[in-house]
Chain A
């Protein structure tokens, strides 16, 4: 990567305010970002990060304040060729090649009349891909690339269009660890070449490893703006939790938590099972036990979750559940598998246990159903608390809480929790951990299927690792170090 980038103009945000109806989501945010800076933007779900990005992108209009690029006052940065935005949805056409994707929406390079100049297009694409070290992929279909490489293509496209300031909005949150690291490395390298990068993320290590500064938004206010050099993980957590009463607790686990469990009859037993990409899977789950499963995406990790839940039948082998054992699942992809955007929160939360509210005439007792929904919504602190709100308008963390609520209302003996803390803020994360502890205390069995090692250390008694569909023996968590899992995951 030899190209250097013409220094980006400084970005000056003063007193940026946004109100929706009677709620203010941004209270006069001031932010100065100099050329070549790599800034991390953090904050809980609903703190205003997305709103800030959307105002800068021109999706929303600010209610007050100014945005200046260099000496120019602008209403948004959307549509400027020197500013690029990378969203979680990368906006790539998967069935087209990398080259075609890079050319989409660009001014066509032509030889003669309507004929395209393929050679010039290719040269431009290669120049853009070189910034992210992906020149080999120019003719590949986007669908054939790893998720991290797809993100790199999106980044190359932004730079190819002349971006000098890049906003990256949680583009790494669903990536496998190794892929995310590649994306971060490419961003850091481009920052070193003079590009300005602003990255929204929930991942602490990305902030600590890559960024120069971290900006924390809390309740729509700028709560911290601090240099990351010399900052450690604990200090960063303190910044994020400065308003939270509760901090992430590591629950002390003595030897007694698992003692005696072995004697209990298993509620779920999978032996020699193959299904989807998973297999062979051997697993025993007992009451009062929290078992963690982890592995790379694509390893068959989630297939094991569906196998345990019963929504996937084994092609070979057996899955045995104890008598009358109900299994509830929190699916891994909450946007597509979790909820029903157009149905209300209460319809979402009660769907799996509607039998609880049917009368003798087989009609639904709506009053009772709504009362119990409201109770659950309050217990899980879902925001906003109205149960008639459409599910689709909730933020990611609150969607997750509603899906948890649906599982809780089933009162199952076994919980299968897939990626329980994916994309949720630190506060919600600790609430979810507390909830899992409660489940253990009520003698439920919990299977935590996750690619986030923090989940494993926070709540699991034992951990098993999936590699190429094969599930390892489970090991007590006390015998594991974070480094063990970072290597495996």
Chain B
């Protein structure tokens, strides 16, 4: 072996080890590509794809698709699915899952109709009981999974049977409808009706809060070179332009005017969940537990307790979904929510690609759930038979997630 001397490295100025090599000429900034590679932009690709799809529908179908009342009716009718999507999302964030949410919703649909009409309980009490049933169901799930260590699939599949079975026992297996003389309170059926609207002020407050939140969220997108003050001005401008475009192109005042109670409830629940997930220690602990259970435990997170709380929260949201389903249907049919389980999971999984790169999010679940509905509704309006809905839902979910997986692979 030939002896080799030290090869001296390229002469570098003293202290250059830490500095990012100032001598190298900056490459012509591929700023557009770098901009597109930002996670916020990458995470919006699916959203943009959906918007383009709906624009295509608009060109194809004209005002039969671009009809605010009809599209809000779609959302209104799917509110139970959206809430079940949130119920599913909470446990998914925690690294678990819950197959019993749809059965819980069926159970509370029966309870809300039955207790109020058949048993004649005061309606406030009925609501409390329904939500308490949701808490109890979540506690059972959490106890089975976290304390007894039962496989999550088996535990929640079992309790799913338990909840739906309880509804059948309670109703003797038949449909429950309010009897004459035991009608549901009108305010309850009003909440479930699409023709009754909440005060517009409530919705305008929501719009204002969304604008403020968007303004705050834009802070993170600040380009490196910009100083804080000019970016603040730019943020105000961006939010104002978006509001203006929404007003002109989408007739925002009309949307706000036509929102039903159920839509309003969904927005309020969504806002609450968003705050919980983003701005409380609980949300952070839950994400940590879901991301790496062992590390979370060593970092001081009470993993079992937090995941149990997630099951309870999921149970309460499912119970609420059932009550609202009762409100909009006015009666309870056997297995009324059974078909909602897979769409709810689909909405939760879509949230990992709508506005996000791989994380479950609250608004992604709600928006993803709505987009799936609109995608199939557009085809139905265009003449496709309604029995194709499930096929379309399946294709949309797989296509959206595949698109984002493909983009990730391209980047790597």
Contacts and interface: CB of A to CB of B under 8 A. Distances in A.
B292 A340 contact: yes
A226 B9 CA distance: 12
Contacts of B226: none
Interface residues of A, number: 46
Given A219-B17, A364-B280, A341 B291 contact: yes
Contact of B300 (A337, A352, A366): A352
Interface string B355-375: 000110000000000000000
Contacts of B12: 243
A244 B234 CA distance: 43
A221 B9 CA distance: 7
B292 A339 contact: yes
A23 to B, nearest CB: 8
A331 B298 contact: yes
A351 B299 contact: yes
B295 A227 contact: no
Main secondary structure of the interface of A (DSSP, over half): mixed
Contacts, number: 102
B287 interface: yes
Nearest to A358: B281
Contact of A218 (B17, B20, B280): B17
The size class of the interface chain B forms with chain A is 35 or more
A355 B3 CA distance: 61
A331 B300 CA distance: 12
Main secondary structure of the interface of B (DSSP, over half): loop
Q: Which of B287, B295, B358 has the most chain A CB atoms inside 10 A of its CB?
A: B295
Contacts of B295: 331, 336-340
B284 A227 contact: no
A37 B7 contact: no
B279 A363 contact: yes
B169 interface: no
A225 interface: yes
Q: Which of A222, A340, A347 has the most chain B CB atoms inside 10 A of its CB?
A: A340
A77 B145 CA distance: 48
A64 to B, nearest CB: 14
B7 A224 contact: yes
Nearest to A215: B7
Given A219-B21, A351-B301, 16 more contacts: A24-B21, A212-B1, A218-B17, A226-B6, A227-B3, A244-B17, A245-B15, A311-B298, A336-B294, A337-B298, A340-B287, A340-B295, A341-B291, A343-B288, A362-B280, A364-B281
Interface of A: 21-24, 27, 34, 37, 212-213, 218-219, 221-227, 243-245, 309, 311, 329, 331, 336-343, 347, 351-352, 354-355, 358, 362-364, 366, 388, 406, 410
Q: Closest 10 interchain pairs by CB?
A: A243-B17, A340-B291, A354-B281, A223-B9, A363-B279, A352-B300, A352-B299, A225-B7, A351-B299, A331-B298
12 contacts: A37-B1, A219-B21, A224-B6, A243-B16, A309-B298, A311-B298, A338-B295, A341-B291, A342-B291, A342-B358, A343-B291, A352-B300
